[in-house]
Structure formats: C-alpha cells, structure tokens
Amino acid sequence: MQDIDLNHIQQILVTVGTDVGLKILAAIIFWVIGRWLIGVALNILRRGLEQQHLDPTILRYVGSVVSVTLNILLVIGILGYFGIQTTSFAALIATAGIAIGAAWAGLLSNFAAGVFVIVLRPFKVGDFITAGGVTGIVKEIGLFSSTIYTPDNIATMIGNTNILGGTIQNFSHSPYRRVDLKCQISGAADQIAAMQLLREKISAIPNVLQDPAVEVNILEFNLVGPVLAVRPYCSNDHYWQVYFDSNRVMSESLTAAGFPAPIASQNMIMKQI
C-alpha cells in the first residue's frame, strides 16, 4: 500500500514538475521572442518617424515611451499565461502606481516637465544652452532628466523640473552670437587710431562675420587709461575660436603698431615744509 502511495506521489510530482518546467520554458521563450518583436517594432517606428523628418528629441522620447509600454504589456501577457488574472494585476499596478506616485512625486514631476519640454520646444538635441545652472550642448532629453555635455566634455544629467522651472538660455536659437571682450589701452595712446586698428585686424580673423560688423568703442576709464569694448560676431560653432583669436590679435596688433603698453602709474608730489 505504501509502495502504491509512493508511486502515486512520484507520478504527481513528475507531472507537476514537468508542467511547471514547460511553462517556465515557454515563458522564457515568450520573453525572448517578445523582446525581439519589441525591438523590431521600435525599429519600424523609428524609421517611420525619421521619414517624417521629425526632430531627434521627439524620436528618442517617443521611442522611450513605446518601449516601456510594450515591455509592461509583455510582462502582463506572460503572467496571464501562468494563469494569473491580468485584471487583478492591472488593478494592482494602478494601486501601486498611486502609492509610488505619492512617494515619487518629484520623479513624476520630472516626467511631466519632460513632456512640456517636448511640446514647448525651448531647445532641442544639439543646441548649446544654459539651463538648470549648467551650460553645454544638449545630448538627450529623457523621460525624467536631460543630459548636457559641458564645454569640458562632462556629461551632466539635470532633472527636467529644474530645467523647466528656471531660466533657459538657448544660444543656438539665433544663427550668430556676439563675443564680448575688453581691451585695456594706455592713457597716452591715440584712442581713435587704436579703435580703428582693432576693427580692421579683428574683422580679418577667420569666421568673424562682416555683418553685423565688429564693434570697438570706449567702455570705461580707469587709472591706466581707456578700456575698449571689443565685440565681434560669429556663428555658434566658432565662438571659442573667435574668442581666443581676438584676444591674441588685440595684443599682437597693438604691440606691433607701437602703441604704449598700459601700465598703471601714479604721480607723487612732495612738498618740503
């Protein structure tokens, strides 16, 4: 009798183990195939959107949303295959979403801010901006944060809420920008001649725009002499090249033309009593 019971138990265990093992194997196969199909669908979607010549920012954002949605549906489908009621699971997700939303209000606000960044389009991928206290080139606008590469090539992630809630400066919005420089000259120098010389020399620097023309004017005076405001214009891509070349040309041209060096000096008058 005991042998019969043991055989019966073994048969049940083998049957149950085989059934569970097959389901697990099927779930793994479904997961692999599902992930592959999701990748195919995302590629088709991306190619379709690219044919519409949409902005890369929108492409990445839509791709992220569709990817997350399809993966959630895949998990629900696999759980349904195991006999778990998907309606109950959906209710559980909704309940968990409320709890997570209360705990992660900041994360959801970043998500909402990311949506507004996409809709309002204050900047796009590739623009040179200042946002959230960071200046650099926008590399990615994500679901919750955006990535900006600073001029020293450091990837900086900023929450979308910080970006949208502050001041945004988009240097790429205009086709050109102004380079603001100062040039100290001696009080003994011919101011008019110095300004005319700088206009000619800086206008000849590569990538300096002729329209608008280079501006050179007296900005202020100090104990050394006049301080000139030197303002060439250039495209955004050539800003730093024009910035450094202008500083070099100002020094070299004034020295070569024989202008006196700007040296601080004081006259002292001593009276003998």
pLDDT(156) > 80: yes
Task: Return d(Cα 98, Cα 96) in angstroms, integer.
Answer: 5
For the chain, give the percent of residues with pLDDT over 90.
33
Cβ proximity of 72 and 65 under 8 Å: no
pLDDT(13) > 50: yes
245-258 per-position pLDDT tens digit: 999 999 999 999 98
pLDDT of residue 2: 46
Q: What is the pTM of this model?
A: 0.58
pLDDT(10) > 80: no
87-104 per-position pLDDT tens digit: 655 566 666 656 555 555
Question: Average pLDDT in the 131-143 region?
Answer: 88
First to last CA, the chain: 135
Sign of torsion over alpha carbons 25, 27, 29, 35: negative
pLDDT of residue 243: 95
Question: Average pLDDT in the 238-248 region?
Answer: 94
Question: Average pLDDT in the 111-129 region?
Answer: 84
For the chain, give the percent of residues with pLDDT over 70.
79
What are the C-alpha distances in Å from 78 to residues 24, 72, 202, 207? Answer: 10, 10, 68, 60
Question: Average pLDDT in the 228-235 region?
Answer: 95
Structure token pair of residue 12: 């049940």
> Element (H or E) spanning 119, and its range?
helix 105-120
Closest Cα partner for 76 from 31, 129, 141? 31
List of domains in the chain: 2-103 (1.10.287.1260), 121-170 (2.30.30.60), 177-256 (3.30.70.100)
Bridge partners, 226 (sequence order): 221
Quick check: helix, strand or coil at residue 196?
helix
Task: Return d(Cα 207, Cα 181) in angstroms, integer.
Answer: 16
Structure token pair of residue 146: 């955006």
Q: C-alpha angle 136/139/142, rounded to 5°?
A: 120
Could you tell me which residue, 87 or 20, shows the higher pLDDT?
20
